[in-house]
Amino acid sequence: MLPGSVMNLPVQNICVVGAGNMGHQIALSAALAGFQVMCTDIDPQILARAENFADTYLKERVTKGRLNEEQARAARNRIAFTGNLEEAAREADLVIEAVVEKLAVKRQLFARLDAICPAHTILATNSSYIVSSKIADATGRPEKVCNMHFFNPALVNKLVEVVKGPHTAAETAETMLEVAGRMGKVPVLLQKEIYGFLVNRIVAAIKNEAIYLYDMGVASYEDIDTAVVQALGHPMGPFRLMDLTGIDLTYHVGMERYQETGDPRYKPSPLIVEKYLKGEWGRKTGRGFYEY
Protein backbone atom coordinates (compact mmCIF):
# COMPACT_ATOMS: atom_id res chain seq x y z
CA MET A 1 0.00 0.00 0.00
CA LEU A 2 1.39 3.36 -1.01
CA PRO A 3 0.04 6.75 0.00
CA GLY A 4 -2.15 8.51 -2.53
CA SER A 5 -5.13 10.77 -3.01
CA VAL A 6 -8.47 9.84 -1.48
CA MET A 7 -10.16 13.06 -2.62
CA ASN A 8 -12.56 11.13 -4.86
CA LEU A 9 -14.00 9.25 -1.88
CA PRO A 10 -16.69 10.48 0.53
CA VAL A 11 -14.38 9.33 3.32
CA GLN A 12 -11.12 11.18 3.91
CA ASN A 13 -10.82 11.30 7.71
CA ILE A 14 -10.94 8.02 9.63
CA CYS A 15 -11.08 7.48 13.38
CA VAL A 16 -10.13 4.08 14.79
CA VAL A 17 -11.36 3.45 18.32
CA GLY A 18 -9.27 0.82 20.08
CA ALA A 19 -5.49 0.82 19.59
CA GLY A 20 -4.91 -2.86 20.32
CA ASN A 21 -3.50 -5.37 17.87
CA MET A 22 -6.32 -5.00 15.36
CA GLY A 23 -7.01 -1.31 15.84
CA HIS A 24 -3.51 0.07 15.40
CA GLN A 25 -2.93 -2.05 12.29
CA ILE A 26 -6.22 -0.91 10.74
CA ALA A 27 -5.24 2.68 11.52
CA LEU A 28 -1.80 2.33 9.96
CA SER A 29 -3.26 0.58 6.89
CA ALA A 30 -5.55 3.56 6.39
CA ALA A 31 -2.72 6.06 6.82
CA LEU A 32 -0.56 4.21 4.30
CA ALA A 33 -3.47 4.37 1.84
CA GLY A 34 -3.68 8.14 2.07
CA PHE A 35 -6.41 8.69 4.67
CA GLN A 36 -6.04 11.10 7.58
CA VAL A 37 -6.29 8.93 10.68
CA MET A 38 -6.88 9.44 14.39
CA CYS A 39 -6.33 6.38 16.60
CA THR A 40 -7.67 6.45 20.15
CA ASP A 41 -7.77 4.23 23.22
CA ILE A 42 -8.67 4.64 26.90
CA ASP A 43 -5.49 2.83 27.97
CA PRO A 44 -2.39 5.08 27.75
CA GLN A 45 -0.03 2.08 27.65
CA ILE A 46 -1.86 0.49 24.73
CA LEU A 47 -1.86 3.82 22.93
CA ALA A 48 1.89 4.27 23.52
CA ARG A 49 2.59 0.77 22.18
CA ALA A 50 0.47 1.53 19.12
CA GLU A 51 2.42 4.70 18.37
CA ASN A 52 5.72 2.91 18.88
CA PHE A 53 4.54 0.16 16.52
CA ALA A 54 3.77 2.73 13.81
CA ASP A 55 7.22 4.27 14.10
CA THR A 56 8.98 0.90 14.10
CA TYR A 57 6.92 -0.58 11.28
CA LEU A 58 7.45 2.33 8.94
CA LYS A 59 11.21 2.35 9.57
CA GLU A 60 11.35 -1.38 8.85
CA ARG A 61 9.46 -0.89 5.57
CA VAL A 62 12.02 1.68 4.49
CA THR A 63 14.90 -0.63 5.48
CA LYS A 64 13.35 -3.45 3.45
CA GLY A 65 12.84 -1.20 0.45
CA ARG A 66 9.03 -1.43 0.55
CA LEU A 67 8.67 2.32 1.13
CA ASN A 68 10.98 5.24 0.54
CA GLU A 69 11.72 7.83 3.22
CA GLU A 70 9.23 10.34 1.82
CA GLN A 71 6.40 7.80 1.68
CA ALA A 72 7.06 6.63 5.23
CA ARG A 73 7.22 10.19 6.53
CA ALA A 74 4.00 11.12 4.75
CA ALA A 75 2.17 8.10 6.17
CA ARG A 76 3.42 8.89 9.68
CA ASN A 77 2.24 12.47 9.35
CA ARG A 78 -1.23 11.24 8.44
CA ILE A 79 -1.75 9.25 11.66
CA ALA A 80 -2.12 10.68 15.16
CA PHE A 81 -2.74 9.02 18.53
CA THR A 82 -4.85 10.45 21.33
CA GLY A 83 -6.62 9.32 24.47
CA ASN A 84 -9.42 11.83 23.87
CA LEU A 85 -12.37 10.25 22.04
CA GLU A 86 -13.98 13.58 21.18
CA GLU A 87 -10.77 14.91 19.66
CA ALA A 88 -10.35 11.71 17.65
CA ALA A 89 -13.90 11.45 16.30
CA ARG A 90 -15.28 14.98 15.93
CA GLU A 91 -14.08 15.45 12.33
CA ALA A 92 -14.28 11.81 11.20
CA ASP A 93 -16.07 10.76 8.04
CA LEU A 94 -15.78 7.15 9.17
CA VAL A 95 -15.26 5.60 12.61
CA ILE A 96 -14.03 2.02 12.83
CA GLU A 97 -14.57 0.53 16.28
CA ALA A 98 -12.11 -2.16 17.37
CA VAL A 99 -12.71 -2.53 21.11
CA VAL A 100 -13.41 -5.59 23.27
CA GLU A 101 -16.01 -8.08 21.99
CA LYS A 102 -18.70 -7.17 24.52
CA LEU A 103 -22.03 -5.89 23.26
CA ALA A 104 -22.72 -3.56 26.18
CA VAL A 105 -19.36 -1.83 25.71
CA LYS A 106 -19.95 -1.37 21.99
CA ARG A 107 -23.46 0.02 22.45
CA GLN A 108 -22.23 2.54 24.99
CA LEU A 109 -19.41 3.58 22.69
CA PHE A 110 -21.65 3.97 19.63
CA ALA A 111 -24.06 6.14 21.60
CA ARG A 112 -21.13 8.42 22.52
CA LEU A 113 -19.87 8.47 18.94
CA ASP A 114 -23.33 9.36 17.68
CA ALA A 115 -23.28 12.43 19.90
CA ILE A 116 -19.72 13.45 18.94
CA CYS A 117 -19.58 12.81 15.18
CA PRO A 118 -20.96 14.93 12.34
CA ALA A 119 -24.29 13.80 10.88
CA HIS A 120 -22.66 12.29 7.77
CA THR A 121 -20.21 10.06 9.68
CA ILE A 122 -20.41 6.31 9.11
CA LEU A 123 -20.02 4.19 12.25
CA ALA A 124 -18.56 0.75 11.55
CA THR A 125 -17.72 -2.06 13.92
CA ASN A 126 -14.79 -4.38 13.30
CA SER A 127 -16.50 -7.01 15.45
CA SER A 128 -15.88 -10.54 14.23
CA TYR A 129 -19.19 -11.87 15.55
CA ILE A 130 -21.50 -9.13 16.88
CA VAL A 131 -23.78 -7.95 14.07
CA SER A 132 -24.38 -4.23 13.76
CA SER A 133 -28.17 -4.53 14.14
CA LYS A 134 -27.51 -5.12 17.85
CA ILE A 135 -25.70 -1.77 18.01
CA ALA A 136 -27.44 0.47 15.45
CA ASP A 137 -30.39 1.47 17.66
CA ALA A 138 -27.97 2.96 20.19
CA THR A 139 -27.49 5.71 17.60
CA GLY A 140 -29.72 8.11 15.73
CA ARG A 141 -28.19 7.07 12.39
CA PRO A 142 -28.87 3.32 11.95
CA GLU A 143 -28.64 3.65 8.16
CA LYS A 144 -24.96 4.63 8.60
CA VAL A 145 -24.05 1.69 10.87
CA CYS A 146 -22.52 -1.55 9.57
CA ASN A 147 -19.85 -4.20 10.11
CA MET A 148 -16.45 -3.70 8.49
CA HIS A 149 -14.51 -6.76 9.59
CA PHE A 150 -10.75 -6.89 9.02
CA PHE A 151 -8.64 -9.99 9.60
CA ASN A 152 -5.58 -10.35 11.77
CA PRO A 153 -2.92 -9.19 11.00
CA ALA A 154 -4.76 -6.29 9.37
CA LEU A 155 -1.65 -4.90 7.68
CA VAL A 156 -1.09 -8.20 5.85
CA ASN A 157 -4.45 -9.91 5.46
CA LYS A 158 -6.29 -8.66 2.38
CA LEU A 159 -9.84 -9.74 3.14
CA VAL A 160 -12.46 -7.37 4.58
CA GLU A 161 -16.04 -8.50 5.21
CA VAL A 162 -18.59 -5.70 4.79
CA VAL A 163 -21.88 -6.77 6.34
CA LYS A 164 -25.08 -4.97 5.37
CA GLY A 165 -27.63 -5.16 8.17
CA PRO A 166 -31.38 -4.62 7.55
CA HIS A 167 -30.89 -1.04 8.79
CA THR A 168 -27.80 -0.28 6.65
CA ALA A 169 -28.24 1.98 3.63
CA ALA A 170 -26.95 0.65 0.32
CA GLU A 171 -24.86 3.82 0.01
CA THR A 172 -23.15 3.06 3.34
CA ALA A 173 -22.22 -0.46 2.24
CA GLU A 174 -20.95 0.80 -1.11
CA THR A 175 -18.78 3.41 0.60
CA MET A 176 -17.27 0.75 2.85
CA LEU A 177 -16.40 -1.39 -0.17
CA GLU A 178 -14.71 1.62 -1.79
CA VAL A 179 -12.75 2.47 1.36
CA ALA A 180 -11.59 -1.13 1.78
CA GLY A 181 -10.49 -1.24 -1.84
CA ARG A 182 -8.57 2.02 -1.47
CA MET A 183 -6.78 0.48 1.51
CA GLY A 184 -5.51 -2.29 -0.75
CA LYS A 185 -7.94 -4.83 0.65
CA VAL A 186 -10.18 -7.35 -1.09
CA PRO A 187 -13.70 -6.65 0.19
CA VAL A 188 -16.63 -9.08 0.12
CA LEU A 189 -20.21 -7.97 0.73
CA LEU A 190 -22.66 -9.90 2.88
CA GLN A 191 -26.15 -8.91 1.81
CA LYS A 192 -27.61 -10.02 5.13
CA GLU A 193 -26.41 -10.55 8.67
CA ILE A 194 -25.46 -13.98 9.95
CA TYR A 195 -23.60 -14.89 13.11
CA GLY A 196 -19.87 -15.29 12.42
CA PHE A 197 -20.17 -13.90 8.89
CA LEU A 198 -18.40 -15.96 6.20
CA VAL A 199 -14.88 -16.84 7.25
CA ASN A 200 -15.39 -17.22 11.00
CA ARG A 201 -18.28 -19.61 10.53
CA ILE A 202 -15.96 -21.90 8.59
CA VAL A 203 -13.02 -21.34 10.94
CA ALA A 204 -15.21 -21.91 14.03
CA ALA A 205 -16.33 -25.31 12.73
CA ILE A 206 -12.68 -26.34 12.33
CA LYS A 207 -11.64 -24.83 15.67
CA ASN A 208 -14.45 -26.47 17.63
CA GLU A 209 -13.71 -29.87 16.13
CA ALA A 210 -10.00 -29.42 16.88
CA ILE A 211 -10.73 -28.60 20.54
CA TYR A 212 -13.08 -31.60 20.76
CA LEU A 213 -10.39 -33.93 19.37
CA TYR A 214 -7.87 -32.58 21.88
CA ASP A 215 -10.31 -32.77 24.82
CA MET A 216 -11.09 -36.39 23.91
CA GLY A 217 -7.39 -37.26 23.94
CA VAL A 218 -7.37 -38.22 20.28
CA ALA A 219 -4.22 -36.21 19.50
CA SER A 220 -2.03 -33.44 20.87
CA TYR A 221 -2.72 -29.87 19.77
CA GLU A 222 0.66 -29.87 18.02
CA ASP A 223 -0.28 -32.89 15.93
CA ILE A 224 -3.73 -31.49 15.16
CA ASP A 225 -2.11 -28.28 13.93
CA THR A 226 0.38 -30.27 11.87
CA ALA A 227 -2.38 -32.33 10.27
CA VAL A 228 -4.39 -29.25 9.26
CA VAL A 229 -1.35 -27.48 7.81
CA GLN A 230 0.07 -30.46 5.95
CA ALA A 231 -3.15 -32.04 4.67
CA LEU A 232 -5.41 -29.03 4.17
CA GLY A 233 -2.80 -26.46 3.19
CA HIS A 234 -3.75 -23.95 5.87
CA PRO A 235 -0.96 -21.49 6.76
CA MET A 236 -1.36 -22.44 10.43
CA GLY A 237 -3.35 -24.89 12.51
CA PRO A 238 -6.39 -23.97 14.65
CA PHE A 239 -4.50 -23.83 17.97
CA ARG A 240 -1.75 -21.59 16.63
CA LEU A 241 -4.44 -19.45 14.99
CA MET A 242 -6.18 -19.04 18.36
CA ASP A 243 -2.84 -17.92 19.81
CA LEU A 244 -2.56 -15.34 17.02
CA THR A 245 -6.08 -13.90 17.30
CA GLY A 246 -6.16 -14.18 21.10
CA ILE A 247 -7.55 -16.89 23.35
CA ASP A 248 -9.27 -14.11 25.29
CA LEU A 249 -11.20 -13.30 22.10
CA THR A 250 -12.21 -16.96 21.73
CA TYR A 251 -13.43 -16.93 25.33
CA HIS A 252 -15.39 -13.66 25.09
CA VAL A 253 -17.02 -14.58 21.78
CA GLY A 254 -18.12 -17.94 23.18
CA MET A 255 -19.47 -16.41 26.39
CA GLU A 256 -21.37 -13.68 24.51
CA ARG A 257 -23.01 -16.29 22.28
CA TYR A 258 -23.78 -18.63 25.18
CA GLN A 259 -25.33 -15.85 27.27
CA GLU A 260 -27.37 -14.70 24.29
CA THR A 261 -28.74 -18.12 23.31
CA GLY A 262 -28.45 -20.23 26.46
CA ASP A 263 -27.26 -23.03 24.16
CA PRO A 264 -24.50 -25.04 25.91
CA ARG A 265 -22.91 -25.76 22.52
CA TYR A 266 -21.51 -22.24 22.56
CA LYS A 267 -20.09 -22.33 26.08
CA PRO A 268 -16.27 -22.08 25.88
CA SER A 269 -14.44 -25.35 26.34
CA PRO A 270 -12.88 -25.94 29.80
CA LEU A 271 -9.54 -25.81 27.97
CA ILE A 272 -10.27 -22.28 26.73
CA VAL A 273 -11.61 -21.19 30.14
CA GLU A 274 -8.43 -22.47 31.83
CA LYS A 275 -6.19 -20.61 29.39
CA TYR A 276 -8.25 -17.45 29.78
CA LEU A 277 -8.15 -17.49 33.59
CA LYS A 278 -4.40 -18.12 33.59
CA GLY A 279 -3.86 -15.13 31.32
CA GLU A 280 -2.35 -17.40 28.68
CA TRP A 281 -3.96 -15.58 25.77
CA GLY A 282 -1.46 -16.34 23.04
CA ARG A 283 1.06 -14.08 21.32
CA LYS A 284 -0.09 -10.96 23.12
CA THR A 285 0.86 -12.42 26.52
CA GLY A 286 3.83 -14.53 25.39
CA ARG A 287 2.12 -17.83 26.06
CA GLY A 288 -0.98 -19.65 24.84
CA PHE A 289 -0.91 -23.14 23.47
CA TYR A 290 2.63 -22.28 22.41
CA GLU A 291 5.31 -20.04 23.94
CA TYR A 292 6.43 -16.81 22.23
Provide mean pLDDT across the span 217-234: 97
User: Percentage of residues in the chain with pLDDT exceeding 90?
Assistant: 90
Model confidence at 106: pLDDT above 70:
yes
| 217 Cβ contact list (under 8 Å, min separation 6) | none
Q: What is the mean pLDDT of residues 58-79?
A: 97
CATH architecture, domain 200-284? Orthogonal Bundle (1.10)
> Do 235 and 156 touch, CB atoms closer than 8 A?
no
What mean pLDDT is predicted for residues 139-167? 97
8 Å CB contact between 211 and 272:
yes
Which pLDDT score is estimated for 5?
56
Could you read off the pLDDT of 2-15 as tens digits, one per residue? 444 566 789 999 99
Residues 6+ apart with CB under 8 A from 211: 238, 269, 271, 272
Residue 260 contacts residue 267 (beta carbons within 8 Å): no
The pLDDT tens digits of the residues spanning 19-29 come to 999 999 999 99
What is the residue extent of each domain of the chain?
13-190, 200-284
Over residues 234-260, mean pLDDT: 93
> 180-190: per-residue pLDDT in tens?
999 999 999 99
- Please state, for a pLDDT cut of 70, what percent of the chain lies above it: 98
Question: What mean pLDDT is predicted for residues 104-127?
Answer: 98
Rounded distance between C-alpha atoms, residue 251 and residue 271, angstroms: 10
**Could you give the count of Cα atoms lying within 13 Å of 112 in the half-sphere of its Cβ?**
14
pLDDT value of residue 7: 64
Check pLDDT > 60 for residue 1.
Answer: no
Q: Is the pLDDT of residue 58 over 90?
A: yes
Question: DSSP of 143-200, one letter per residue?
Answer: GGEEEEEE-SSTTT--EEEEE--TT--HHHHHHHHHHHHHTT-EEEEESS--TTTTHH
- Name the CATH architecture for the domain at 13-190: 3-Layer(aba) Sandwich (3.40)
pLDDT digits (tens, 9 = 90+) for 270-279: 999 999 999 9
The model's confidence at residue 130, banded by pLDDT at 50, 70 and 90, is very high
pLDDT band per the 50, 70, 90 thresholds, residue 67: very high
| Confidence (pLDDT) at 9 | 80
Q: What is the pLDDT of residue 15?
A: 98
Q: Collapsing DSSP states into helix, strand and coil, what is residue 36?
A: strand
Could you report how far apart the first and last alpha carbons of the chain are, in Å? 29
Torsion of CA 163, 164, 167, 170, to 10 degrees: 140
User: For residues 236 and 229, what is the distance between their CA atoms, to the nearest angstrom?
Assistant: 6
Q: Which residues are catalytic?
A: 128, 149, 161, 200
Residue 162 CA to residue 172 CA, distance in Å, equals 10
DSSP class of residue 39? E
Among residues 113, 140, 122, 165, the alpha carbon closest in space to that of 12 is found at 122
* Sign of the alpha-carbon torsion through 23, 28, 33, 36: positive
- Residue 73: per-residue pLDDT: 97
